[in-house]
Amino acid sequence: MTSKNSNDDATPDADVAPDGVDVIKGYLKTLPAAPGVYRMVNGPGDVLYVGKAKSLAKRVASYTNLKRQSNRLRRMISETHSMEFVTTHTEAEALLLEANLIKRYRPRYNILLRDDKSFPKILLTGGHSFPRVVKHRGAETGKGDYFGPFASVWAVNETVTVLQRAFLLRTCSNSVFSNRSRPCLLFQIKRCSAPCVGRIGEDEYGALVAEARAFLSGDSQKIQQGLAVRMQHASDDQDYEAAAIFRDRIQALTRIQAHQDINLSGVGDADLIAAFQDGGNSCIQVFFFRGGRHFGNRAYFPSHAADDTEAKILEAFIGQFYDNKESPRRILVSHKLENQTLIADALGVKADRKVEVSCPERGDKRKLIGHALANAREALGRRLSDSASQRRLLDGLADALTLDAPPDRIEVYDNSHVSGTSAIGAMIVAGPDGLMKNAYRKFNIKNKEMAPGDDYAMMREVLERRFARAIKEDPDRRGDQWPDLVLIDGGAGQLGVALEVFSALEIDDVAVAGIAKGVERNAGRERIFLPGRDPISLKPRDPVLYFLQRLRDEAHRFAIGVHRAKRGKAQQKSPLDGVPGIGPKRKKALLHHFGSARAVSDAGLADLEAVDGVSRAMARKIYDWFNG
């Protein structure tokens, strides 16, 4: 994304700038040394900039010294024809008003939050003997308990469905509830306890509501452990139908309570906000934690000047983001903010309670920040790939690899297997419009004579099949299925295999290169192998290198996904039966804890380590087996 203000660094006309300075000087005589908000307005009446100040007189006076301003601000001053002011009681109030006015006027010289939609929540309704669980968006005017926010409607729908399965709460309206004469389909599929027709009493239903409320408040482990005990008791009493119900509820709970390495006890209710900047563009990732659990995340791409820092962008973002949202008690940020205390005070005034804003420097919270920054980096990469900058990346790639022209179709190849079993080859495709997922292809390795795990033989088979078919179906290359560039995940060996295949098939007009991770497999130290040349390395911050990393990682992701699907289909017995070191005792402990083998395969390391009889080393072995 190109910033609206990216061209604002041009030096203004010297004959125009002083007029703006004279306009500003004209207001200084009457400005108080009090907190407030000011607006700079151009000739047609458009608001150019909205700012806040602890002292309006001092802040506005600073604009009269052009030597201390950046080129962008000097241009803004040159366009100023009038100013408007609002005084406030405190600087915190000024900060809140500034955010409100920025969202209202959308000034071109401010950092702007472009996407400011409200977030959905979950509502456990009140005022009824049998509360229902529903998704909610908007003002919290109805009776009941609200939980959230969630990052998307999809996340809410998924959670509501899981809550139905785990706690059997109704979702129907009160009018439908009061007019039913027999249970609906949800009761038949075990997603409602049918209180509408008396299949469950008010006290028993109230206990389910209390469990759901505690679960959404963060007390999931205790509830899950209680269900496991009740399931075991029912099984011991040979009440297998009741045990199956408890098993199903445990399975439902594990879907939304799992740690998956990003949940963190002790965080409570918090928002984590991280900013990543590259090439004059920025992405801000907001992660929502409620009750210590991750409720999803959302990426934002604010408009700002090319020289704005991450800290400055974060500060502007927070003010606008919480203008129409309730802030949690804790906000964790990736960069130390200049007005961090002021922002916390302002949000506290708005929420009528204390709000903490901090920048963790170590420990688990800093790890969360690192995770959010990684997500921001990836989101920005995707954003850039889907924009016009994709063409610039292709131009840069052509220069780096000395291609005759920027490639319109890039094919990237990778293999995946576990000790030679369930081996597959994968091909992804990219072009001027980004990733072309409808062109992805998978190849089941058919050669039974190759040695297990022979990556070279697998790559040879994949390339031979791919290009032999291309020659057969489009020998004149009139279609758009022939690549301009083939990238192989690997080094000199894999590149040599590709060149042998191309030579045998007499293909001499398709560029080919291998990309291998560098020393200690560190990203940023990749080496690019080209025919007849020494390996080359691009600068660590080169956008072209980042583009190649993304292509390679996408090929790896696709290959792993295809491989897992094939491996899972091949296992007719329980997936746990194939895990080395898992005997009947550990298998029983895992199934009791998670409810199903699928839930075990989806679990994170922290969840696996919490199972009785599973050591840290064994948890890692199980996790790697399902996520290898």
HEC string for 453-503: CCHHHHHHHHHHHHHHHHHHHCCCCCCCCCCCEEEEECCHHHHHHHHHHHH
Specify the DSSP class assigned to residue 451: P
Phi/psi of residue 294, nearest 5 degrees: -80, 120
From CA 510, how far away is CA 492, in angstroms rounded? Answer: 18
pTM, entire model: 0.47
**pLDDT number for residue 135:** 85
> Measuring CA to CA, which residue among 418, 485, 426, 462 is closest to residue 626?
418
- Rounded CA-CA distance 444/425 in Å is 6
∠ CA 208-213-214, rounded to 5°: 100
Residue 320: other Cβ atoms inside 10 A: 21
- Write down the pLDDT at residue 6: 35
Residue with tokens 């979950």: 122
Non-local (6+) Cβ contacts of 122 within 8 A are 133, 134, 135, 136, 146, 147, 148, 150, 156, 159, 160, 163, 216
Residue 12 · residue 80 · CB < 8 Å: no
How would you label 322-334 residue by residue, b for 16+ Cβ within 10 Å and e otherwise?
bbeeebbebbbbb
Which pair of tokens denotes residue 598? 């699928």
Give me the residues paired with residue 356 across strands: 330
Going along the chain from its start, the domains and CATH numbers come out as 17-105 (3.40.1440.10), 121-217 (no CATH), 270-385 (3.30.420.10), 391-568 (3.30.420.340), 583-627 (1.10.150.20)
The sign one gets for the Cα dihedral 303, 305, 307, 312 is negative
Q: Could you tell me the CA-to-CA distances from 88 to 32, 160, 354, 391 in Å, in that order?
A: 11, 43, 21, 48
pLDDT at 8: 40
Question: Which amino acid is located at 212 in the chain?
Answer: A
Calpha distance 132→126 (Å, rounded): 8
DSSP tag of 147: E
Structure confidence at residue 9 (pLDDT): 40
Task: Say if residues 73 and 110 touch (Cβ distance below 8 Å).
Answer: no
Angle at 446 between CA 445 and CA 450, to 5 degrees: 85
For the chain, state the CA radius of gyration.
30
Q: How many C-beta atoms surround the C-beta of residue 476 within 10 A? A: 5
Q: With b meaning 16 or more CB within 10 Å and e meaning fewer, what string describes 435-467?
A: beeebbbbbebeeeebeeebbbbbbbbbbebbb
The whole-number pLDDT of residue 487 equals 94
Q: Which residues contact 43 (CB under 8 A, 6 or more apart)?
A: 79, 81
Contacts of 373 (CB under 8 A, 6+ apart): 274, 276, 285, 334
The tokens describing 189, both together, are: 């599929």
Buried b (16+ CB within 10 A) or exposed e, 361-389: eeeebeebbebbbebbbbbbbbbbbebeb
* CA–CA dist 294, 270 (Å, integer): 10
- In DSSP notation, 495-541 reads HHHHHHHHHHTT--SSEEEEEE--GGG-TT--EEE-TTS--B---TT
pLDDT of amino acid 411: 95
* Best CA proximity match to 511, nearest among 471, 484, 476: 484
According to the model, what pLDDT value does residue 144 have? Answer: 86
The DSSP secondary structure of 427-441, one letter per residue, reads EEEEETTEE-GGG-E
Q: Is the dihedral of CA 179, 182, 186, 191 positive or negative?
A: positive
Nearest Cα residue to 162 out of 150, 176, 174: 150
What is the mean pLDDT for each group of 10 consecutive residues in the chain (628 residues)?
36 50 88 90 88 91 87 89 87 83 85 71 87 83 80 73 82 85 86 89 88 73 71 77 73 56 64 87 87 77 85 90 85 91 88 89 86 86 68 88 90 81 86 83 85 86 92 79 91 92 91 81 76 88 87 89 72 68 83 81 86 87 81
